[in-house]
Amino acid sequence: MALDITRIRQDFPILDQQVYNKPLIYLDSAASSQKVLAVLKKEEQLHLEYYGNIHRGAHFLADKATADFEGVRDDVKEFIHAAEREEIIFTKGATEGINLVAFSFGEAFVKAGDEIIISEMEHHANIVPWQMMANRKGAVIKVLPFDDDGKLQTEKLDELISEKTKLIAVAHVSNTLGTINPVKEIIAKAHRHDIKVMVDGAQAVKHLAVDMQDMDADFYVFSAHKMYGPNGVGVLYGKKELLDRMPPYQGGGEMISEVKFEGTCYNVIPYKFEAGTPNINGVISFGEAIRYIQELGMSDITVYESELLAFCTKKMMEIPGMTIYGTQKEKSGVITFNVGGVHPYDLGVMLDKMGVAARSGRLCADPVMDHYQVSATVRISFAVYNTFEEIDRFIEALIKVISLFK
């Protein structure tokens, strides 16, 4: 293994602490990963040395901030292998990216009676914006189901697709089941019918290599805070020919080229979709997170996290009463589970007292909970800073908590 996990953990000082007199075991990176030290230092440097509003100033601070901000656009382009830097739009996060596509694509391309296909395993952020768009435009939502093992039933796409289908929205990796969906296969099938595809990559980009040229997604969204970066920053990738034809999502400064009361001319992409002053320090520090992942090497990260997942899954399945939701071979970084006789909220609270940070609840995925007919679950999720020793301690804590309810 090429990764030095001891050194990596030193890049995340927050992990070196105790909660309730127990060593912290952070297993909630699917909700939000911890921030790498380089990101925090970059934010501090920006505020101490050269903060200025970008694109608009003629002074040194503004020029330097603008250069660094636009440099991160180039970093993202290379990271996901986009064709052009203009295809990279900065947002508040994956959720805003999806809302932007739902609104602007809907305005440009969707009319009454048209259809949008969404998978059953989507996070609420990849469901509700499409419902809002459908209500506004008079469109129809169709659902692509998954089976009890957590496999998306892509074979049913043929019966769902019609001449009215305009777009398919699907997660690259499920936030609840951990399933790595065959997005390239879905996109290829959709494109044969001239259907566009929007991929929610929020749970994928810190675990898997992403290549827009190979995948051929029409839109792809993700958030910086899930990849060791800052909060309040996200990316929408969109193919240039589509973005050019879509109207702005918001109005204001920067997204215009000329404003008159008789009418306004919009700016070119990507600025057409970046109204107002953006999260300047967030975007600039996000570049450090991207560089950090690239320096570690995505292939090594993927292999290491897969080993953590397999190791933990095997140990958990040995616990009586254990049910794991999502058991596909192609899986990444997430284990969602319940234990018979113990309420998931009780499990989550008691694990916290043992120093384990896990997520309990409906995981912003009500349709998944309804599929399995459960009120809630517990989820643990991994990142490159987790260790096999932490998994052993988690298993010990889990067994102890379960014993308290027996």
Nearest to 36 by CA among 301, 322, 241: 301
Q: What CATH code is carried by the domain that includes residue 344?
A: 3.90.1150.10
Residue with tokens 């998306």: 152
Note down the domain range covering 323: 5-30+298-404
- Does residue 341 share a domain with residue 224? no
Sheet containing 334-339: order of strands: 322-325, 334-339, 377-381, 359-361
Domain edge (last residue) among 246, 276, 294: 294
Query: Could you give the number of structural domains in the chain?
Result: 2
CA distance linking residue 80 with residue 88, whole number of Å? 10
Answer yes or no: do 226 and 115 share one domain: yes
Based on the domain organization, do 18 and 107 belong to the same domain?
Answer: no
Residues 154 and 324: their CA atoms lie apart, in Å, by: 22
Question: pLDDT at position 1, please?
Answer: 54
368's tokens: 């998944």
How much of the chain, in percent, has pLDDT values that exceed 90? 98
Active-site pick, 61, 322, 364, 399: 364
Domain edge (last residue) among 294, 310, 343: 294
The pair of three-digit structure tokens given for residue 73, joined into one six-digit string: 């656009």
Q: H or E stretch including 265? A: strand 263-266
- Answer yes or no: 312 catalytic: no
- Do 19 and 74 fall into the same domain? no
Looking at the fold, whether 121 and 210 belong to one and the same domain comes out as yes
Quote the CA–CA distance of 171 and 150 in Å, as a whole number: 13
* CATH assignment at residue 271: 3.40.640.10
Report d(CA 102, CA 110) in Å as an integer. 10
Please tell me the number of Cα atoms within 13 Å of 369 on its side-chain side.
17
pLDDT tens digit sequence for 101-154: 999 999 999 999 999 999 999 999 999 999 999 999 999 999 999 999 999 999
Q: Are residues 348 and 330 in the same domain?
A: yes
Q: What is the overall mean pLDDT for the chain?
A: 97
Its pTM stands at 0.97
10-residue mean pLDDT profile of the chain (406 residues): values are 91 97 98 98 96 90 96 98 98 98 98 98 98 98 98 97 98 98 98 98 98 98 98 98 97 93 95 96 98 97 98 98 96 96 96 98 98 98 98 98 91
| C-alpha–C-alpha distance, residues 383 and 34, integer Å | 9
CA dihedral sign of residues 267, 270, 273, 279: negative
Taking the CA atoms of residue 88, residue 247, residue 241 and residue 65 in that order, the dihedral angle to the nearest 10 degrees is -20
The single-letter DSSP state of residue 398 is: H
